[in-house]
Amino acid sequence: MQSTITVRYFAILRDFSGKNDETVRIETGTNAGEIYLRLAKAYGFPLALTDVRVAVNDEFTSASHPLQDDDILVFIPPVAGG
């Protein structure tokens, strides 16, 4: 079954994708990590999946989290500052 999710991009991931967010069609139950790997390949993200935090619907979760229709998925890269 097909689902639609929203992916939001921040920091370096926004720079590489050229977008703040986008709608992505997935098979229901696809996990967050699978989506990251697909997007990393499409946009050339320089970070490995293990280097980003995953949040679904405003809650941190694991990359193995299965996604459902209308979920909001965010990948949060490490932030440096001073």
The whole domain housing 61 covers 2-76
Number of independent structural domains in the chain:
1
Residue 28: band (very low, low, confident or very high) from pLDDT cuts 50, 70, 90? confident
φ/ψ of residue 36, rounded to 5: -60, -45
Q: Tell me: the pLDDT tens digits for 36-57?
A: 999 999 999 999 999 999 999 9
Q: In the chain, pLDDT over 90 holds for what percent of residues?
A: 90
The model's pTM: 0.92
In a domain, 82, yes or no: no
- What is the pLDDT at residue 82? 52
Q: What is the CATH number of the domain that holds 14?
A: 3.10.20.30
In a domain, 57, yes or no: yes
- What is the pLDDT at residue 81? 56
In a domain, 81, yes or no: no
In a domain, 12, yes or no: yes
